[in-house]
Structure 1
Amino acid sequence: MGDVLIRVVAGFALAGLLPVSPALAADDDDRPLFTFKDPRITESSGLALSPTRDDVYYTHNDSDAGATFFAVDGKGQTRATFTVAGAEARDWEGMAASKDPKTGRGVLWFADIGDNFDGAWPDISIYKVMEPTSFRDATLPATRYRFTYEDGGHNAEGIMVHPRTGRLSVVTKQFSGAIYEAPKRLRTGRVNVLRKIGPAPIMATDAAYAPDGSSFVIRTYFSASVFRAPGELIAKVSMPQLDQAESIAYSRDGRSLLVGSEGVNSPVYEVPLPDTALPTPTPSASAEPSAEASPEATVEGGAVSASQGGGLTTGDILLWVAAAVGATGVITVIARKAR
């Protein structure tokens, strides 16, 4: 029901029934970079560029579509389909790509982190898969890492891996969302604990690091926010109108965002970043989100506050309250007529 309500709200905003600020307005000149041609790609929920090959993109379906992902070229044509051996797919919601610092080989991460009941699962899983070396349909081995949150269950749809340190973070999809950081060393023999390090925008659907690690982006159904560190907002980026905005990734040069949607033949757009959000010339590992790296993000009485925003703004709250009221009214009318 939660996702249904959010989709209704998104529909209201896109239909012009809710106020949308200029920062969220779509550009009439937006054109897709490509559209997914494969009819099996019906709920593209995660998106990542190959860390080692040009013109290769990876995606996977949402929900219980199976532990499968697709390699797609720059025209949206599927080059190969891969199955992750031994993996569950309760609710795959996001993916990320990185490089093995020792070998230079690409690494793909698949996040089985969706939990619409905020605690229905005793733990969540993220699978590490070495990037395939050839584009032929195959089954690939994976390493499974299990996680719990330090403060109880959450629904989440975004993961990101720091390109310099390899540190993994999960971004929750809630009205009061947050960024949770994984331990530096992940273990397979025990459940790893995710610790809250900062706020996240309301109802975040995906997240990604800039290629140099100097910043990261978190997207929602309506916008994308670029941060230097947790709570340190540096730009809000206009997004194209999508049926259900689910995925985001950086371009290889870090100067644009790639954004996707669920749906058959869904498009992927390339959105240029403003100058203020471009990668820094000399990145440092200190850009990795952590409580120590961001004095703006502090924990007070168990709640995260951010002096420079990036969590719930007044505009966000008013927008979602208005949306919830409007959506509830529509649902009530429909329910009455259906009796």
Structure 2
Amino acid sequence: MRSYPIRPAGPVAPLAALLLLLGAASPAVAADGGPDRDFTIEDPRITESSGLAASRLHPGIYWTHNDSDDGPYVFAVDSRTGKTVATITMRGIGEPRDVEGISIGPDGDIYVGDIGDNLDGTWSHVWIYRFPEPKALRDATVTATQYDVQYADGPRNAESLMVHPKTGRVYIASKNEGGGGLYAGPDKLTTGSMNVFRRVGEVPWVTDGAFSPDGRSLALRSYFSARVYDFENGRLGESRAVAAPFQRQAESVTYTADGSALMFGSEGARSGVVRVEVEGGRQEKGEQKEKPSGSGSPAAQGEDDGDGKGSVGLGAVIIIGVGALWFALRRRRGEG
């Protein structure tokens, strides 16, 4: 098995660098000893956690992975302790390029999205890997199936892979500062031929997403905020803001296995995962609001929560200022 050195995170965009500096001043997230609560990923090998998926077989366990240049590895982290309890090595696949998303299907298989493309069109195709969730939590090497994926409207960058928990259809949300798209795969993924994903909806800048266990809601997050969309018949419906925590580099989100909360993760060494309650297991329109359970400050939502306090606070001011500075730097670079 590969021996992992302790390494710093790779180069980050100006925005991400500023978020890392600001996040360093935030209170650390600490576990309270219970499953599915706030926790810190303790494994020094996991410095770029880019996706989260709640285990279907092992309560309180979350699957995660690093992104680019890490290899064919997936980690099972215990939310009670923050410690890695299993490292899975995928064999039978090519060399992963930029793994950005993870999800579990209704068949109990783990789907891993090697879908990152930071140059927006460098790769003519990307890959999805799939293997059954292990019944025992121990280090193991598993044979994974590899699927070739293309987008009907051309290559693009993406960080969000979601498998619908009822239909098993795979969805990808592309990432673009001007807004991305939600792409649906074929009814079933196949090997030996290209799997074409077609645009079925418009989404904001997305760094990760997850379906609720009943498949009726789709949560999408970005660096700045998060929204939950009604989802029916393969289409996005009405959406509402979620009080996402303010994190150093907001990269991941998943529902707890029982659908009672969202778990928000971040990149970085000893990165925190923060639980945000979803009252009743699924927020009803106009009735309930999600609230963080941990120490993360709510991210700016760009709208009021209905009590006049939704987007007001230090976190909102900081994020808006950082965003303005980042876009100004990009504009200046483009003019230079």
> Is the alpha carbon distance of 1:327 and 1:231 closer, same or farther for their aligned partners in structure 2, counting shifts above 3 Å?
farther
Q: Is the 8 A contact 1:216 1:226 kept in 2?
A: yes
Which of 101, 112, 124 is matched with 1:94 structurally?
101
State how far apart, in whole Å, the 2-side matches of 1:29 and 1:112 are.
30
Q: Is the 8 A contact 2:182 2:202 kept in 1?
A: yes
Which of 9, 13, 21 is matched with 1:4 structurally?
13
CA positional deviation for 1:327: 3.4
State how far apart, in whole Å, the 1-side matches of 2:28 and 2:267 are.
21
CA positional deviation for 1:132: 1.0
Which digits, 9 at most, give the CA deviation of each residue in 1:78-137, with x for residues without a partner?
A: 11111000332100001001231xxxxx21010000001111112100001111121221
CA positional deviation for 1:329: 8.1
State how far apart, in whole Å, the 1-side matches of 2:41 and 2:28 are.
20
What aligned pairs does 1:1-339 form with structure 2 within 5 A after superposition?
Answer: 4-8=13-17, 10=19, 33-74=38-79, 75-87=81-93, 88-100=95-107, 106-175=108-177, 176-202=179-205, 204-229=206-231, 230-273=235-278, 277-278=282-283, 322-328=324-330
Alignment-mate amino acid for residue 97 of structure 2: R
Q: Is the 8 A contact 1:147 1:192 kept in 2?
A: yes
> Is the alpha carbon distance of 1:275 and 1:327 closer, same or farther for their aligned partners in structure 2, counting shifts above 3 Å?
farther
State how far apart, in whole Å, the 2-side matches of 1:248 and 1:135 are.
22
Q: Is the 8 A contact 1:48 1:97 kept in 2?
A: yes
Alignment-mate amino acid for residue 188 of structure 2: R
State how far apart, in whole Å, the 2-side matches of 1:97 and 1:260 are.
17
Q: Is the 8 A contact 1:43 1:262 kept in 2?
A: yes
State how far apart, in whole Å, the 1-side matches of 2:331 and 2:121 are.
28
CA positional deviation for 1:155: 0.3
* TM-score computed with the length of structure 1 as normaliser: 0.75
Q: Is the 8 A contact 1:226 1:236 kept in 2?
A: yes
Q: Is the 8 A contact 1:171 1:177 kept in 2?
A: yes
> Is the alpha carbon distance of 1:86 and 1:278 closer, same or farther for their aligned partners in structure 2, counting shifts above 3 Å?
same
Q: Is the 8 A contact 1:34 1:76 kept in 2?
A: yes
> Is the alpha carbon distance of 1:29 and 1:266 closer, same or farther for their aligned partners in structure 2, counting shifts above 3 Å?
closer
The answer to which of 6-15 and 167-176 deviates more is 6-15
> Is the alpha carbon distance of 1:11 and 1:83 closer, same or farther for their aligned partners in structure 2, counting shifts above 3 Å?
closer
State how far apart, in whole Å, the 2-side matches of 1:237 and 1:178 are.
20
Q: Secondary structure at the match of 1:92?
A: coil
Q: Secondary structure at the match of 1:322?
A: helix
Unaligned runs of 5+ in 2: 1-9, 32-37, 286-319
> Is the alpha carbon distance of 1:279 and 1:90 closer, same or farther for their aligned partners in structure 2, counting shifts above 3 Å?
farther
Unaligned runs of 5+ in 1: 16-25, 101-105, 281-317
CA positional deviation for 1:278: 2.3
State how far apart, in whole Å, the 2-side matches of 1:331 and 1:277 are.
43
> Is the alpha carbon distance of 1:200 and 1:144 closer, same or farther for their aligned partners in structure 2, counting shifts above 3 Å?
same
CA positional deviation for 1:330: 9.2
State how far apart, in whole Å, the 1-side matches of 2:282 and 2:60 are.
24
Percent identity (aligned): 41
Which digits, 9 at most, give the CA deviation of each residue in 1:13-41, with x for residues without a partner?
A: 879xxxxxxxxxx9x99866111111111
Which digits, 9 at most, give the CA deviation of each residue in 1:254-278, with x for residues without a partner?
A: 1210010111111111011367952
Q: Is the 8 A contact 2:50 2:266 kept in 1?
A: yes
Q: Secondary structure at the match of 2:100?
A: strand
State how far apart, in whole Å, the 2-side matches of 1:41 and 1:94 are.
15
> Is the alpha carbon distance of 1:261 and 1:198 closer, same or farther for their aligned partners in structure 2, counting shifts above 3 Å?
same
Q: Is the 8 A contact 1:51 1:98 kept in 2?
A: no
The CA RMSD measured in Å over matched residues stands at 3.2
Q: Secondary structure at the match of 2:136?
A: coil
State how far apart, in whole Å, the 2-side matches of 1:178 and 1:31 are.
35
> Is the alpha carbon distance of 1:90 and 1:6 closer, same or farther for their aligned partners in structure 2, counting shifts above 3 Å?
same
Which residue number corresponds to residue 285 of structure 1? none
Q: Secondary structure at the match of 1:38?
A: coil
